[in-house]
Homo-oligomer: A and B are copies of this chain.
Amino acid sequence: MAAMKFSRQRESIKEFLRGRTDHPTADTVYENVKLIYPKISLGTVYRNLSLLSDIGEIQKLASFGGSDRFDARIDPHCHFMCTRCGRVLDMDEEHFDKLMAEAAIHFTGGEITHYNASFYGICKDCKGKE
């Protein structure tokens, strides 16, 4: 039962994630934390990201193709990915979450513990540039 120790690197990773809402990849986290701890290694970033998501301090998003993305928001919420610019936006309307929660209640094939809903399309910004 590993007792977790403080680490500046981990703290820095958390802080960086808290300051972003654009769901950075492990590599982006690495590039940015490196500005503060130039010797940090990608392995450390991965280890901490997965540790933090295991203990529920951050969320790991795996459904956007390519790399996993990470989110400091841990309350259930849906995501929207723009298939043109690749950005991943939070979908704040609690509307969706009610729907998802309701869906979970009605399912008869097992006991649902969590869900993950991703929507894809063209975001407003890209739409505007057409």
Q: Chain B nearest CB: distance from A105 CB in Å?
A: 10
B109–A122 touching, CB < 8 Å = no
Q: Interface residue count for A (Cβ, 8 Å)?
A: 37
Contact of A65 among B62, B89, B113, B121 (CB under 8 A): B62
Tell me whether A8 is interfacial, beta carbon within 8 Å: no
Tell whether A106 is near chain B: CB-to-CB under 8 Å: yes
Shortest CB distance A62–B (Å) = 6
In the complex, chain A residues 74-97 whose Cβ is within 8 Å of any chain B Cβ? 78, 80, 82-83, 89, 91, 93, 95-96
Query: A residues within 8 Å of B by Cβ?
Result: 62-63, 65, 78, 80, 82-83, 89, 91, 93, 95-96, 99-100, 102-104, 106-107, 109-124, 126-127
